[in-house]
Amino acid sequence: MVEDEPSSDGIFDLLQETDRKRRKSQRAELLETMKVKEFFDEGEIAINARTCQGLECELCIKVCPTNALYWHDGKVGIIHNLCVYCGACVVACIVDDCIEVKRVRKDGRVERFSKPVEVVKLFCTINSEQRRKRLESIFPSSETYLTRFPFQEKKTERKSEE
Ligand code: SF4
Ligand code: SF4
């Protein structure tokens, strides 16, 4: 029996996947040397050269924690392998929608932002989520909460007696 040969589409997908894995591990190695342990694996960053204030500003270059941005040939250049999609450059940028960042969280959720206010809102949401998860891990139910912090009826009674 002759086995089916893989289609050219299949081979192309396989090559793309191998290339993606190779780039991912190169990027992880590069960031490891910079002691960056936590980062978004997947994402994109783009800078609009038409709205960028360039030389008069350079704030994004100054705040980038991994030196992924640099000044070159009259515009801001990006070393994509060094970008961890943290959003610091978007917060610092003096022009709305000049830097656009898209990143994929571990659970597959996609986040996009291009204005400081969007990054701040995102951080607030992430912080609230983390607080909720922490609280749920300590008190999985209202009963566990009440066991630890029982309702202090006596104190309340005494106050009303006064
Ligand atoms: S998103 Fe973060 S790591 Fe990427 S260029 Fe902006 S400041 Fe640098
Ligand atoms: S912070 Fe914004 S305006 Fe300033 S150089 Fe960077 S991209 Fe351009």
CA–centroid distance, residue 76 to ligand 1 (Å): 12
Report the SS3 class of residue 43: strand
Question: Where does the pLDDT of residue 154 fall: very low under 50, low under 70, confident under 90, or very high at 90 and above?
Answer: low
Which has the higher per-residue pLDDT, 10 or 104?
A: 104
Ligand 1 pocket, residues with Cβ under 6 angstroms: 45, 63-66, 68-69, 83-89, 101
Does the pLDDT value for residue 99 go beyond 90?
A: yes
Rounded to the nearest 10 degrees, how much is the dihedral formed by the CA atoms of 14, 40, 105, 107?
Answer: 60
Mean pLDDT computed over every residue of the chain: 86
pLDDT confidence of residue 1: 47
55-72: pLDDT as tens digits: 788 999 999 999 999 998
Question: Where does the pLDDT of residue 4 fall: very low under 50, low under 70, confident under 90, or very high at 90 and above?
Answer: low
pLDDT confidence of residue 111: 94
Alpha helices for 6-152 (secondary structure H): 8-33, 59-63, 88-92, 116-138, 142-148
CA–centroid distance, residue 125 to ligand 2 (Å): 26
Q: Which of 63, 99, 115 to mutate to test the pocket of ligand 2 (most atoms within 8 A of CB)?
A: 99
Which has the higher per-residue pLDDT, 160 or 133?
A: 133
The CB of 95 under 6 Å from ligand 2? The reply is: yes
CATH 3.40.605.10 correct for 38-147:
no
* Distance from C-alpha of 148 to C-alpha of 141, rounded to nearest angstrom: 11
46-57: pLDDT as tens digits: 999 999 998 788
* Distance from C-alpha of 10 to C-alpha of 18, rounded to nearest angstrom: 12
106-149: pLDDT as tens digits: 889 999 999 999 999 988 888 787 888 888 888 888 787 777 77
Q: Using the CB atoms, write b or e for 12-34: b if 16+ within 10 Å.
A: eeeeeeeeeeeeeeebeeebeee
For the chain, the domains span 38-147
78 forms bridges with which residues in the sheet? 69
